[in-house]
Amino acid sequence: YRLADLLIPNHYNGTLQEVLVPGGLIQDRVRKLARDIRADYGCTTIHLVCVLKGGSAFFQDLLRCLRYFHEFNDESYVPFTYDFIRVKSYVGTQSMDVKITGGDLKRMAGKHVLLVEDIIDTGKSMRALLPVLRKEGPKSLKVASLLEKRTERSCGFKAHYVGFSIPDKFVVGYCIDYDEHFRDMTHLCVVNQEGIERYRSISAAEEHAAMAAV
Q: How far is the CB of 128 from ligand 5GP (least distance, A)?
A: 8
Burial of 173 (0-12, 13-18, 19+ CB in 10 A): buried
Residue 122 within binding range of ligand 5GP, rule CB under 6 A:
yes
Candidates 21-29, 39-47, 113-121, 189-197 — which segment interacts with Mg ion by CB under 5 A? 113-121
- Which of Mg ion, ligand 5GP, none lies near 148, with the C-beta cut-off 5 to 8 A by kind? none
In the list 8, 171, 185, 189, the residue contacting ligand 5GP (rule: CB under 6 A) is 171
d(CA 50, CA 54): 9
Other CB atoms closer than 10 Å to residue 6's CB: what's the count? 15
Residue 121 within binding range of Mg ion, rule CB under 5 A:
no
What does the DSSP assignment read for 175-207? TB-BTTBSTT-SSEEEE-HHHHHHH-SS-HHHH
Q: Is 177 a residue of the active site?
A: no
Residues in a beta bridge with 181: 178
Candidates 7-15, 37-45, 67-75, 118-126 — which segment interacts with ligand 5GP by CB under 6 A? 118-126
Residue 176 within binding range of ligand 5GP, rule CB under 6 A:
yes
**Which of 121, 168, 177, 184 does the annotation list as catalytic?**
121
Burial of 95 (0-12, 13-18, 19+ CB in 10 A): exposed
Between 19 and 50, name the residue whose CB sits nearer to Mg ion: 50
What does the DSSP assignment read for 83-133? EEEEEEEEE-SSSEEEEEESS-GGGGTTSEEEEEEEEESSSHHHHHHHHHH
Between 54 and 123, name the residue whose CB sits nearer to Mg ion: 54
Candidates 32-40, 54-62, 182-190, 193-201 — which segment interacts with Mg ion by CB under 5 A? 54-62
Residue 118 within binding range of Mg ion, rule CB under 5 A:
yes
Residue 124 within binding range of ligand 5GP, rule CB under 6 A:
yes
Q: How far is the CB of 70 from ligand 5GP (least distance, A)?
A: 30
16 and 190 Cβ atoms separated by less than 8 Å: yes
Q: CA quadruple 149, 207, 90, 49: dihedral positive or negative?
A: negative
Query: Which are the catalytic amino acids?
Result: 121
Q: Which residues bind ligand 5GP (CB under 6 A)?
A: 54, 117-125, 170-172, 176-178
